Amino acid sequence: MRRTRLAASAVAVAAASALALAACGSSTTSSAGGTTASKAPDCAPASLKLTTAGMLTIGTDNPAYEPWFKDNTPSNGQGYEAAMAYAIADKMGFPKDKVTWVVAPFNAVTTGAARNFDFDVNQVSINDERKKAVDFSSGYYDVRQAIVTYKGSPIDGKTSIADLAGAKFGAQIGTTSYKAIVDQIKPTTKPAVYNDNDLAVQALKNKQIDGIVADLPTAFFMSAAQLDNGVIVGQLPSAGAQPEQFGAVLTKGSPLTACVTKAVDALRADGTIDKLVAQWLSAAGAPELK
């Protein structure tokens, strides 16, 4: 989906692309969304085919929004995706002074038209349609469902799911957000459904509902741009075996895909991804509800 904070609905996605890479070794599709190397890829920096020799070039859109980036300056390493990009680079053997950033418009990236980077981080959800045009790493962010309300509402300040049972919620019809209300919050009042998120926002403004459930990036957008005094109550825990995920985007058939995936998988295994989520997303006003 387009930067899911700007999307009308959440998308449930499956795993990332299956790749056979001559330069990085053979691989098979993993259930987690990336690749599992049957032969260890040669990911030494000196052996990689890069956009600019000796430098790792990372793309993202302009403007680059918070909390994914800070001050529209990806090179400062602040914000979830900026920090993640540098963490991936470090795992690949590239210190910060060997990383450069370029502007890569979202639509050009997802259609495969942009080729001025080694990989791109831009809140791009992994899905089968996009995998026809581009490669993805394994997922570096599991998209959570979040609850949006307004300051002073009946659910403003609540910290647990149990505290939300008596509230009236709304969500776009047919979405994983609606499913999260029913399956995770289990409110005593039947949730309202809307044809799109804009209608849900209007209902919240009119105080016809107490809160909206949407994917976290969309929740950030709603609270900051669509609502007066909007606040995010919190994130719901991950649910299901295959969460929607953001992945690093590479050109189709890129010899770097297996190496970027290897780096992302290592960051997930060593706890870095969890730490960055806590630092940049929870701190941005989206604590996890218990």
pLDDT in tens, 19-53: 333 334 334 334 344 444 456 779 999 999 999 99
Parts of the chain with a pLDDT under 70: 1-39, 240-241
Q: Where are the domains of the chain?
A: 4-143+243-282, 145-235
Per-residue pLDDT, 19: 32
Fold: same for 4-143+243-282 and 145-235: yes
> Three-class SS of residue 91?
helix
Strands lying side by side in the sheet with 230-235? 192-194, 169-172, 211-215, 145-150, 230-235
pLDDT at 32 (0 to 100): 40
User: CA 267: distance to chain centroid?
Assistant: 15
pLDDT of the residue at 174: 87
- Tokens, residue 242: 């295959």
CATH of domain 4-143+243-282: 3.40.190.10
Q: So what's the pLDDT on residue 244?
A: 84
* CA pair distance 288, 50, nearest whole angstrom: 38
Alpha helices (H) in 227-271, listed in sequence order = 257-269
The whole model's pTM is what?
0.72
CATH superfamily of 145-235: Periplasmic binding protein-like II (3.40.190.10)
pLDDT reported for residue 33: 44
